[in-house]
Structure 1
Amino acid sequence: MELHKVLLSLTILCIAVSLSNGACFHDLPKHGIKDGCLDPYNKEKHPFGSKWNSDKCMTCTCDRTILSCCTRYTSEPHVQGCKAVLDKRTCKYKHYKVDNPSELCF
C-alpha cells in the first residue's frame, strides 16, 4: 500500500515540474513611486498589494519590498514538423506547420 502512495506522489511531482517551466523575475519598486509599482512593460502604476496580468503574458505582483513577474505560459513545447508561436492574446502556444506556416498542426 505504501508503494502506491510513493509512486502516486512521484507521478504528481513529475507532472507539476513539467508544467511549471515558466520564468520569473523580481525587482525593487521604483524610487519616486511611494504607493505602488510600475508595470515593467507598459509603465502603468499598480498599488501595493495588487496582482495583475501584463500585456506581455506575465502575472505580476507588487508589495512594498518587491515587484515580481512570472510568465503565464510554460516553456515552448516541441512538436516535430511544427513551429510553436506564442499567441499574445491567449498567452498560449499555437503550432503551425513548418512547410505551411498558415496552417495549424492540430
Structure 2
Amino acid sequence: MFARMGLLALCLVFSVFVSVSHSACSYSLPKPGAKYCVDEADNSKHALGTTWTNKQCVKCTCSITGMRCCDTLFKAHVQTEGCVVVYDYDKCTFEVFHPMDRNIHCQHYAVGK
C-alpha cells in the first residue's frame, strides 16, 4: 500500500512539473509562403531556422512549421512581508530582497507566466 501511495505521489509531482514547464509557451502557424517569423513583442522579423530572446524575455524559434515561443523569466511571488521583486529584463533574471536590509532572508517561489 505504501509503495502504491509513493508511486501516486511521484506521478502527481511529475504532472505538476510538466504542466508548469509547458504553461508559458505558445505556438503559431506560419502564413502560407512565409520566409520569416514576426515577433509580436516588437514586430521584428526573424529568418527561418533562427532562435532569439525578445525584450520581454520570451525565447522564440522560427521554423517552416511555425514559431514556438516560451517565457524564460518566471513570475516571482514573495512570501516574506516587506520584501520586493526587481526584474532585470536585460539579463532575464529577478532578485528578491528586503529594501531596508538585504541580509533579511526573503522567502519566495516562481511560476511560469
After TM superposition, the score normalised by the length of structure 2 is 0.60
SS of 1:34 mapped into structure 2: coil
Return the structure number with greater relative CO, CA threshold 8 A, min gap 6. 2
For residue 94 of structure 1, give the secondary structure of its aligned residue in structure 2: strand
Distance of 1:59 and 1:70 partners within structure 2: 5
Aligned to 2:25: 24
- Residue matched to 2:47: 47
One-letter amino acid matched to 1:46? H
1:87 aligns to what? 88
User: Secondary structure of the equivalent of 2:78?
Assistant: coil
Distance 2:22 2:76 in 1: 9
Shift of 1:35: 0.6
CA RMSD of aligned residues (A): 3.6
Normalised by the length of structure 1, the TM-score is: 0.64
* 1:35 and 2:18 aligned: no
Judged with a 3 Å threshold, the aligned counterparts in structure 2 of structure 1 residues 104 and 68 are, in CA distance, closer, same or farther, namely farther
User: Runs of 5+ in structure 1 lacking a partner?
Assistant: 1-5
Give runs of ≥4 in structure 1 deviating > 6 Å. Answer: none
> Is the Cα–Cα contact under 8 Å of residues 22 and 73 in structure 1 kept in the other structure?
no
SS across alignment from 1:76: strand
Q: Is 19-28 or 59-68 further displaced after alignment?
A: 19-28
Tell me, in whole angstroms, the C-alpha distance in 2 between the residues paired with 1:91 and 1:104.
23
Contact 1:57/1:88 (8 A) holds in 2: yes
What does residue 3 of structure 1 align with?
Answer: none
2:41 paired with 1:60: no
Q: Does the aligned pair in 2 maintain the 1:22–1:74 contact within 8 Å? A: no
Question: 1: distance between equivalents of 2:66 and 2:39?
Answer: 12
Q: What percent identity do the matched residue pairs reach?
A: 27
How far did residue 63 of structure 1 move?
Answer: 1.0
